[in-house]
């Protein structure tokens, strides 16, 4: 008996990839995704069922918002039983934030959700969009013994598949726009697609559980030599702040000046969660390695290990929205929930 064709749902949110150049004006305009196979005839060669839906009003990824993430996970939830995989076309600027958020919002995911985009529109001759889209669809449809090979939220860009919550955009002008410095690529596309089996998340045996409650009362305090008490205090004491992402030096180090320690203590005494992540692109926070981080550990600042900034922000949004106790949130921040940090 012939095996059932794989089915993939393509979701277009906006971004460079979905643009075509108007023949008369030269302006870049979103193209009609119902005619996708006319724009990319290579898709007709796939032996799969491909459907597409588009946001009624495509958005620039700089305008990305938690409300859009909720809309995306509901689209996936409503179509979860109909399709074997999902490809989300998204602007590259905030793609890592969206991928990170979706990884937390889609608990027990056992199908691929692949985000991709491009640096040049599909309508441009030298576009990177066609290859990114074609291979993302192939990955979303890939099965082995009837089961999906990939069962997590990923980003595919420039021949590499990454765990979404491990990435950040590091280049605005080259095709290889994303990096995952603290976790290996999940797959590389060459003549064949080579999967790094040991790096892939194991599929869940539980049913998909979708979370839509997110809390964004989060502040960011990025340290620099000479940071003032006035500015630090203004950020920490902003009305309604429930959590602070503290971007520190090196392996989680910060100034030991008394005023700074006192400001952090005031925040922690008010039950504000402070999560320490490094400003370095690679490596992790190890509180207590140096004297300049020991005081943070003693205060109750939470070490964020090797989480990216994007993952730290969205994980806090997710946990703050779950109506958990203060101690539960602190514990879960240091727990590897979706492959976002190294133990």
The pLDDT tens digits for 268-278 are 999 999 999 99
pLDDT value at 24 more than 80: no
More confident residue, 138 or 174: 138
> Is 1's pLDDT higher than 50?
no
8 Å CB contact between 105 and 113 = no
Q: What would the two tokens of residue 269 be? A: 């005494």
Question: Residue 121 pLDDT > 70, yes or no?
Answer: yes
Banded pLDDT at 36 (limits 50, 70, 90): low
What is the arithmetic mean of pLDDT over 21-40? Answer: 68
Residue 255 in tokens = 């100034």
> Token digits for 113?
């959700």
In the chain, what are the domains? 6-210 (3.40.50.1170), 218-333 (3.40.50.40)
Helix then strand count (H, E) for the chain reads 9, 20
Is 80 exceeded by the pLDDT of residue 299?
yes
pLDDT at 211 over 70: yes
Is pLDDT above 80 for 100? yes
Contact 310, 124 (CB under 8 A): no
Confidence check: pLDDT of 246 > 80: yes
Q: What is the pLDDT of residue 3?
A: 58
Instruction: List beta partners, residue 222.
Output: 247
Share of the chain above pLDDT 90, in %: 78
Least Cα distance to 273 among 305, 299, 310, 308 occurs for: 299
Alpha helices, DSSP H, located in the chain: 36-39, 66-78, 95-105, 129-141, 229-236, 258-269, 291-299, 309-320, 326-333
Does residue 134 register a pLDDT over 90? yes
Q: Judging by beta carbons within 10 Å of its beta carbon (0-12, 13-18, 19+), is residue 45 exposed, middle or buried?
A: exposed
Is 16 a residue of the active site? Answer: yes
283-303: average pLDDT: 95
Reference 275, options 235, 221, 318; nearest CA is 221
Euclidean distance between CA atoms 118 and 138, whole angstroms = 17
Residue 142 has which token pair?
């890939």
The residue annotated as part of the active site, out of 16, 94, 248, 278, is 16
Q: Assess whether pLDDT exceeds 70 at residue 256.
A: yes
Distances (CA, A) of 113 to 127, 201, 210, 237, 262: 23, 13, 14, 38, 44
pLDDT at residue number 65: 97
pLDDT above 50 (res 2): no
């Amino acid at each position: 008996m012939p095996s059932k064709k794989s089915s993939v749902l393509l979701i277009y949110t906006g971004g460079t990839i979905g643009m075509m150049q108007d023949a008369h004006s030269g302006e870049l305009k979103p193209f009609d995704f119902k005619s996708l196979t006319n724009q990319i005839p290579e898709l007709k060669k796939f032996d799969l069922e491909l459907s597409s839906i588009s946001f009624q009003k495509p958005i620039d990824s700089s305008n990305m918002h938690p409300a859009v993430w909720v809309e995306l996970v509901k689209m996936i939830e409503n179509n979860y039983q109909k399709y074997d995989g999902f490809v989300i076309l998204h602007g590259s600027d905030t793609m890592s934030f969206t991928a990170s958020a979706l990884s937390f919002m889609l608990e027990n995911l056992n199908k691929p959700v692949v985000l991709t985009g491009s640096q040049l529109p599909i309508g441009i001759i030298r576009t990177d969009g066609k290859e990114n889209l074609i291979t993302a669809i192939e990955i979303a449809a890939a099965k082995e013994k009837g089961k999906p090979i990939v069962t997590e939220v990923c980003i595919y860009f420039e021949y590499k598949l990454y765990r979404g919550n491990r990435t950040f955009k590091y280049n605005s002008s080259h095709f290889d726009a994303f990096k995952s410095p603290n976790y290996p690529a999940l797959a590389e596309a060459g003549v064949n697609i080579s999967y790094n089996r040991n790096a892939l998340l194991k599929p869940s045996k539980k049913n998909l559980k979708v979370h839509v409650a997110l809390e964004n009362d989060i502040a960011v305090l990025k340290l620099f030599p000479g940071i003032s008490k006035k500015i630090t205090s203004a950020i920490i004491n902003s009305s309604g702040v429930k959590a602070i992402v503290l971007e520190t030096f090196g392996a989680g180090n910060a100034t030991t000046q008394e005023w700074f320690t006192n400001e952090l203590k005031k925040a922690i005494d008010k039950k504000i969660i402070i999560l320490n992540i490094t400003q370095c692109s690679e490596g992790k926070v190890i509180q207590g390695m140096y004297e300049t981080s020991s005081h943070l550990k003693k205060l109750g600042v939470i070490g964020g290990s090797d989480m990216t900034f994007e993952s730290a922000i969205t994980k806090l949004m997710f946990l703050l929205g779950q109506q958990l106790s203060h101690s539960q949130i602190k514990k879960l921040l240091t727990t590897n929930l979706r492959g976002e940090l190294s133990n």
